[in-house]
């Protein structure tokens, strides 16, 4: 992963200002979307409620 990040950073220097601006816009959109996401569609599992009357049977 570190090698990939290093490679991307090095190759960013070769891009035009317009290309860098487009990448920055895409990053902003992704970050904004991820910040607004509350759930990834996974069901939420609640913790079971404590049994307040253990002597009772269901």
The residue written with tokens 């990939």 in the block is 4
Print burial letters for 10-30: b (CB count within 10 Å at least 16), e (below 16). eeeeeeeeeeeeeeeeeeeee
What 3-state DSSP class applies to 14? coil
Q: What is the pTM of this model?
A: 0.48
Q: Yes or no: say if 44 and 52 are a contact pair by the CB < 8 Å rule.
A: no
CB 20 within 8 Å of CB 12: yes
Q: Give the Cα separation of 18 and 24 in Å (integer).
A: 10
pLDDT tens track for 1-57: 889 888 888 888 888 999 989 989 998 888 888 777 656 666 677 777 777 777 776
């Amino acid at each position: 992963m570190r090698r990939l990040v290093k490679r991307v950073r090095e190759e960013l220097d070769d891009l035009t200002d317009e290309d860098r601006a487009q990448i920055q816009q895409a990053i902003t959109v992704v970050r904004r979307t991820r910040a607004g996401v509350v759930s990834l569609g996974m069901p939420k599992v609640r913790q079971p409620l404590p049994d307040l009357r253990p002597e009772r049977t269901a």
